[in-house]
Amino acid sequence: MPLSIERRPDEDQAVATVHAALDAGITLIDTADSYHWHAGERGHNEILVARALARYGRDTSHVLVATKGGRGRPGDGSWTVDATPAHLKRAAEASRKRLGVEAVGLYQLHKPDPGVPWADSVGALRELLDAGTVRAVGISNVTSDQIREAHAILGDALVSVQNQYSPAVRDAEPELQLAARLGLAFLPWSPLGGISRSSLDGPSGPASTDTAFHRIAGDHGVSPQRLGLAWLLHRAPTVIPIPGASRPASILDSARATEIELGAAELRQLEAPRSGP
């Protein structure tokens, strides 16, 4: 998302960032048709990802590109929601064409629409599967009840849940654990929230480097961001964080989170509701 929204880098830097991720062994790229800045440029990030993959010069058949539909950005900084079956079907087909694929590898419903019955939106995902427009589906910004209902409708075709989860925002713990029990990948969005705060209850705390994440990162000789991603990877075997990046150096640092092993005592400190002194 940072490659296409406000304060985005130029295309050369954006492509270099994607290539750095691929060089580091990253095999999942998460995008959405609503990742853009200005009105009238829907699909900016999908087009960018497709270009970056085409320019890589090496085999990318093992890379899963996941995209999302059901949200919009009018260009004034706001977000809209449209998860009607008709819109989702049009959006998925448009995403497929922008990505230049026969079928979208993973298509995710970006957010439930309060004006549309949940079963209707999920049913549209089933129709996209049956039509061959997408190969697998996921859901995002959902409750535990919505996960259960979607799983009942979609069965094994439902493979992922994408909710906000980070050191600062842990409200989705029930959904994370439910996804693990169902064998669904859990993709925390905005996974680094709270790393630069002394109060991990939200984004309003004073900036500080005196948190358990910073202290333990120092012990390991790594960045707090890398440590935060390592903590997420320890939350459950099905957790796959999706940190954003706009520079090659950032994504390379994130990719090395897989190298960090955290001990039981460290995890207890990091899992405390407040990770300050």
Please identify every residue annotated as catalytic.
Answer: 35
CB 118 within 8 A of CB 112: yes
Residues 242, 177: Cα–Cα separation, whole Å: 18
Burial 60-95 (b: 16+ CB within 10 A, else e): eeebebbbbbbbbbeeeeeeebbbbbebbbebbbeb
Give SS3 for 139.
strand
Structure tokens at 188: 């925390």
- Is the four-CA dihedral 81, 83, 89, 93 of positive or negative sign? positive
Structure tokens at 91: 């959006």
- CA 202 from chain centre, in angstroms, equals 19
Residues 110, 34: Cα–Cα separation, whole Å: 9
- CA 273 from chain centre, in angstroms, equals 23
Give SS3 for 239.
strand
Give SS3 for 30.
strand
- CA 60 from chain centre, in angstroms, equals 20
| Block residue for tokens 């991990």 | 200
